[in-house]
Amino acid sequence: MNTEVTDGKTRIAVVTGAGSGIGRAVAVELLRAGWSVALAGRRTGPLEETAASAADAGGGEALAVRTDVSQPADVAALFAATVERFGRVDLLFNNAGTFGPGGVPVEDLPYEAWRHVVDTNLNGAFLCARAAYRQMKEQRPQGGRIINNGSISAHAPRPHSVAYTATKHALTGLTKSLSLDGRPYRIAVGQIDIGNAATDMTQRMQAGVLQADGEIAAEPVMDVADVARTVRHMAELPLEANVQFATVLATTMPYVGRG
């Protein structure tokens, strides 16, 4: 696919949560395809590892920026550094997130744990989208794309996942509002809902996790590279076209029907 904008310059992406998992896989996929990518995450070391894992294939330039997406000053610094280095922002992959304490019933969930999940998954996504929106609206050529990482949990919850599930449902509303408000400025906004991509976060799925019927069962996973290729496809569409919602999941995971 073509990775150049109308003025012949390389496309520029910001990927949050780029130090591991889905964020790393997407960042590497984009870099190898010729994008230049600002890698955002709370720890510089893993970001540099992401950049190094794509370096052998050539392609675009990576910029590691230590960022806590729940902090407005960090987010502002991330986008300032990106624009200073690359001149514009064509894509934000709003990926940073946390599940929070797993397996904790609602009545036992500390408020601090709830707040941490909301601050990261929802407030962080909003802060990054707002910064991207401001840049995309003002830059020339105008416009860009935002892809929010939702989750299968944006459709249906797992047991004892109230904070994570609530934030992922909220991300769907964020996606729809941003998509509508971005129309006058050529800002396309979509969402990818992912189920059981093989990352450190989903290792427990293969060992067995609590199901809605109270049983513990192992669940299938899929290659995270397949998710990365899907995000790249969404990212490289012309701004006149948009994947509003995409669902990518391990084919036989217990989601459709009754499992």
Catalytic residues: 164
Amino acid identity at 76: A
Asked if 132 contacts 105 with a C-beta cutoff of 8 angstroms, the reply is no
Instruction: Write down the residue that tokens 């601050």 correspond to.
Output: 119
Query: Residues 73-106, buried b or exposed e (16+ Cβ, 10 A)?
Result: ebbebbbebbbeebebbbbbbbbbbbbbbeebee
Quickly list DSSP for 165-209: HHHHHHHHHHHHHHHHHTGGGTEEEEEEEEE-BSSGGGHHHHH-E
Number of other CB atoms surrounding residue 70 within 10 Å:
21
Is residue 87 left, alpha or beta, with left meaning phi > 0 and alpha meaning psi from -120 to 50?
A: left
